[in-house]
Structure 1
């Protein structure tokens, strides 16, 4: 074990007899016997040693004691040797740190109705701030997962829907801003293509995606994001 575990049970700081036996290199049965000898000498000391039980690896239940700081002091008083002294000092330090932490927590607690109300208001504000941050982050995460998928292609119609527009209206807007141009056949627009400076918004094989049955330009998710931000910026200006 070779570690110190101090339990906080209803404000009482307790260590187990098993842990003490392990750290001080004693047989647990002998530690139990020492505790019961102390209790037998003075019944008032019983409250320092709380009888408890634990389940061993075999599945059987055995007795142990939960020991207060004062009980610990009485118990290890007779333990001698350099190593025992070192462990005593470690336990004293651990108890001190735990008690200090509990005292700091106690001081933070409100003592009047006004302080309790102020404490509650602070918590409410913190929770509201956290909820707002979560709401702001969730769309960003969702957008990153769903929109920036590099393996997915979207049509102009898909992007137009995101912007609350029609595909025709979006095409006209992009054409007006010299982002795309129409490819005509027999005087009719067969499809749209981006100008050279904007070809990075479509996949390299986009031309092969366009046929007489598929006249919509396909965009990468990066292209979709760029187009949405571009159109939104135009809306703000206008």
Structure 2
């Protein structure tokens, strides 16, 4: 929107350009010619068949009128070019009309560089508007960044507080992160094709083997007769634990710590 103004016949009008062409509104014409409101509109409507749209005049919709000229025009806004203006005021034959025509054509339509620079209140208003735009843009940026931080915070919390450990972990520990028991989590991973039960031990399916996700550990136990036995157990590495986190998250299964964040955001 152009904030420059120009004084014609003691009337200050906003300098308007549309599609690179200097234009005026019908209301502007009434003001600078000291005619009753609606005079230019009546002349325009009466001779409308003589005007060429896109050459002598443009009709702007409500949104464009508001955006370009800060004008509220529920029914659209008609603006005329230099040729349209000269055609419109042909019947204005009083002395004042000739003076206004010369001033408007010479100083407004044909000398874009001669538009009055904004001063005083106009300059202050422009500065305030620009400052408001900058503040609004800054606020939007901050809000966007805060939203991103909130979105990433649950994942950061989980990875920082739980995945930071370097030790191998068993399924009981992982299942607890998700508010489940080990049996439930093992069945879930089996249903998802990650592991299978083989020889009294949960092992990774072929697709996920040899990726450093898990390792076998030997656990000792006592038989009823007092002898010592051993059993193989699968334990997960932190790489495997992170894999499970990403895999399950893609399917909407979140650790308890992230579920808590979601509930808080929903509230």
For normalisation by structure 2, the TM-score amounts to 0.35
Structure that is richer in helix per residue: 1
For normalisation by structure 1, the TM-score amounts to 0.38
